[in-house]
Structures are given as structure tokens and as C-alpha cells.
Amino acid sequence: MNWKRWTALAVVVGLLIISTITNLAVGFANLDLDEYTGSEFGEEVIQPGTSGKIVVLNLDGVIQDLGAQSIFDTGMYDHQAFLTQIENASNDDEVDGIIIRVNTPGGGVLESAEIYEKIVEAKEEHDKTVYISMGGMAASGGYYIAAPADKIVANPNTITGSIGVIMESINFAELAENYGVKFNTIKSGPYKDIMSPYKEMTDEEREILQSFVDESYDEFVRIISEGRGMDEETVRSVGDGRIYSGKQALENGLVDELGSLDDTIELLSEDLGGGTYQVVSYNYSMGLYNFLGLTAHKMFGQDPEITMLQKLIFENRAPSLKYLYAE
């Protein structure tokens, strides 16, 4: 190997070392060095105050559990982290109220139900007052989780509603047939390949899947009826899948007030007894071991974006119930 190749190799090794040190430095800057494992939520003060504490939790993005997220994957909704945030706020004796800032088109039925249960637990077991502040969109699953809140505040231009359940799949059987592609399927029962993209759906299969959708929709209606104090007939009349502006939602009894996040903070402060409340949000940081593990995976493992894409493709091949507004 001549000197030019040795020089090039040395440059590559040097860049790799610099990159590793930089990544570690960024990670350590976000760590609570008193804790060496697990995950922590530091507090960022939005508004100082002395009357008590209000926590603002941000739910931004499609409500789906994609597993553990890397610190490098910014801007994506982390389901488990969000559930932990609600638990932290619920268990904090200094917290008087919780505001969930919702900006989502909805998502999975299971994940929405998990958030709903955490909100109910915060209210009933920890005696926390929970308000919802709707952002640009709080549709379908975004409304599902809002239903049990003590008060829902929407912007006049918020897109909300879309009350209902959807199940979708892609079918390319006809396309495959046009190109002479055939699929061999060996199954244990007539419905084992239900909703397969490789064949047309039968009436019996559609009836089976419709029963799942109807069951989840009945639960959606029950959640709204109990949370909003509305009779089921009224809920079903407004819950036909259509979307509403914040103003229309107010007229139909789906929200309580029109206003911004600041207005929601002011309303909650007044309802808690008045005065100036300290308002905080949570900053998520990873424990040392978790961070080192993810850094190693980032450096030597498969690209996380590719891994995420593979997971999405695999999950979308199977039937999935969703409280989701599809534009």
C-alpha cells in the first residue's frame, strides 16, 4: 500500500473518531449525569409562577407505536415516551393541572385507547385537572383522547371531528394478473389470508372485518358519550366521519371553548383557583446506557430510517383498525 492510500485511510479513521466524539458530546450534553440508566424528563419553564404548576404535554404526529426512537430521529411521535410523560405528570404532587396540546390526524385504535386510559387515570386516581388544547388538527384518534378531558379548547380553524374507524389495505391482484404474476397460498382455514393484497375480498370476509370496525366505532361513541355527557344518538349523528372546524365543533358540542394554547393556560389557571401558575413542558433525555446503545446502533447498525420504513411497510400489509383522518 503506497503512502497515498495510507494517508486516505488515516483521514477516514480520523473523521470517524471525530464523528464519534461529536455524537457522544451531543448526547452527554442532554443527559442527567446523576442517572445512568433509563429515561428522564427534564422541565422547561414556559411561564414562571408561584400559585402552582401546570404541565403542557405536546402530542404531535400520527398516534402509532413505532418502538423506541433514536435521539437522532427528531420530529417523530414517540408513543411510549408520551405515555411516560402523562404518568410523570400524574405522579408529580406539585402538578395541579395538565394541558395536552393535540396536533394529530389520529392513529391506531390501540394506541389511542392507551392514551385515553392514562388521561382517565390522571383524573380519577391522581385528581389532576386535564385540559385539551387543539392545534391545527385534532381529528379522529385526536378527538378520541380529548373526550374525557375536563375541558376542550380549539382554535376556530382547527380541523377536528372525523369520528369513526377505518381499515384499509392495498389490493394489486388485478395488476398482478395483467402481468401474469400468480401467488401460491397454503392456509389452514378459509379466512387465514383475509384482506390479502393478492386476491379480491369476498363478501364473507368483508362482513367479518366490518364487525371489527363496527365494534370499535361503538366504543368510540361510548367514549364520547360518557366524556362529553352527550346521548349516543347525538354522538352518532355528528360522528359520521365528517370533519369540523373548531367553530363548527363548538356549535355541535364537541368542544367547550375557542382559543389558543395561551387561552387554555389562562382558563385552566382560573379554574384551578386563580393566580399565576408556573407552566412547564418536558424535555426528553436518554440515560447513558440507552444513549451509548443507540449511538453504536447508529454507527454500526442498519440505517434507522430504513428500519422504520421496513416496519411501516410490514405493518401496513396486515389489517389494522385506525382512528385516523385520511386527507
Residue-level pLDDT at 261: 97
Q: Give per-residue pLDDT as tens, 246-279.
A: 999 999 999 999 999 999 999 999 999 998 999 9
The residues with which 286 forms a beta bridge, in sequence order, are 39
Examine the pLDDT at 307 and tell me if it is beyond 50: yes
Is 140 labeled as catalytic in the residue annotation? Answer: yes
Q: Give per-residue pLDDT as tens, 7-23.
A: 656 655 665 566 556 55
Examine the pLDDT at 292 and tell me if it is beyond 50: no
Q: Which residues contact 155 (CB under 8 A, 6 or more apart)?
A: 134, 135, 136, 246, 258, 259, 260
Q: Which residues contact 17 (CB under 8 A, 6 or more apart)?
A: none
Residue-level pLDDT at 68: 57
Examine the pLDDT at 28 and tell me if it is beyond 60: no
Q: Please give the residue that has the higher pLDDT: either 75 or 197.
A: 197
Residue-level pLDDT at 229: 96
Per the residue annotation, which of 70, 140, 216, 285 is the catalytic one? Answer: 140
Region 192-219: mean pLDDT is 92
Contact assessment for residue 86 and residue 119, using Cβ atoms and an 8 Å cutoff: yes
**Average pLDDT score, the chain:** 83
Of all residues in the chain, the percent with pLDDT exceeding 70 is 73
DSSP 53: E
Contact assessment for residue 242 and residue 162, using Cβ atoms and an 8 Å cutoff: yes
Examine the pLDDT at 221 and tell me if it is beyond 50: yes
In the chain, the amino acid numbered 21 is I
Q: CA of 108: how far to CAs of 53, 142, 162, 164, 221, in Å?
A: 31, 10, 14, 12, 16
Residue-level pLDDT at 69: 53
The residues with which 45 forms a beta bridge, in sequence order, are 280
Residue-level pLDDT at 181: 85
Is 192 labeled as catalytic in the residue annotation? Answer: yes
Per the residue annotation, which of 19, 192, 211, 311 is the catalytic one? Answer: 192
Residue-level pLDDT at 291: 47
Res. 43 pLDDT band, cuts 50 70 90:
confident
Q: How far apart are the first and last CA of the chain?
A: 59
Burial of residue 304 (CB within 10 Å: 0-12, 13-18, 19+) is middle
Contact assessment for residue 130 and residue 92, using Cβ atoms and an 8 Å cutoff: no
Res. 170 pLDDT band, cuts 50 70 90:
confident
